[in-house]
């Protein structure tokens, strides 16, 4: 399966969750959509145009209540370079005076078919942002995100546990039911 991404962390998660080998494709697309759906569709269609076969694309991010939903669709571009340390530290500084630490990870997967049809699948996991980074697994904001009903951050969980609970895991499970 062609996946319109060069993000090795995402590719590894997708392979693990779907149980299939995926091929990452470097698709240059300006992610200027206002929603995760718009960006995922844009990337999937670009991959389809380039490779002429079924293409999967993901757009995902973190929405934080006290920040009015930010960083949202700009999650991957919130800090430069986008290392977990830079992303999490900038987020924690922005939330310094925020009392409502509720947050959610959102993932939209778009599948672009050779016949031109596009389907989208959405996954959401709710949780909260803690006040310090914990854990060494995962990537992005995983060290500061604790899903509802748990005490560990995504970065403290075993990858299989995180993939079962995560926004990306939820969206990909919907695809596997096709």
What's the predicted TM-score (pTM) here? 0.93
CATH for the stretch 2-176:
3.90.950.10
Low-confidence ranges of the chain (pLDDT < 70): 178
How would DSSP label each residue in 108-143? EEEEE-TTS-EEEEEEEEEEEE-SS---SSS-TTGG
The domain locations on the chain are 2-176
Establish whether 58 is a catalytic residue.
Answer: no
| pLDDT computed for residue 116 by the predictor | 92
105 sits in which H/E element? strand 102-112
| Residue from 32, 58, 59, 148 carrying the catalytic annotation | 59
| pLDDT computed for residue 66 by the predictor | 97
Query: d(Cα 45, Cα 4) in Å, to the nearest integer?
Result: 9
Query: d(Cα 98, Cα 112) in Å, to the nearest integer?
Result: 39
């Amino acid at each position: 399966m062609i996946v319109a991404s060069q993000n090795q962390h995402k590719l590894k998660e997708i392979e693990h969750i779907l149980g299939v080998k995926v091929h990452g494709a470097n698709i240059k697309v300006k992610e200027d959509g206002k929603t995760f759906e718009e960006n995922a569709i844009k990337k999937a269609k670009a991959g389809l145009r380039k490779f002429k076969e079924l293409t999967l694309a993901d757009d995902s991010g973190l929405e934080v209540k006290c920040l009015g939903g930010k960083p949202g669709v700009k999650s991957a571009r919130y800090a430069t370079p986008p290392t977990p340390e830079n992303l999490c530290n900038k987020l924690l500084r922005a939330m310094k005076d925020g009392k409502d630490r509720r947050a959610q990870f959102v993932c939209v997967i778009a599948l672009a078919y050779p016949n031109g049809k596009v389907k989208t699948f959405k996954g959401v996991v709710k949780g909260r942002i803690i006040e310090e980074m914990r854990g060494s697994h995962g990537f992005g904001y995983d060290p500061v995100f604790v899903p509802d009903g748990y005490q560990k951050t995504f970065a403290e969980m075993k990858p299989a546990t995180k993939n079962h609970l995560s926004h990306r895991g939820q969206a990909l499970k919907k695809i596997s039911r096709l």
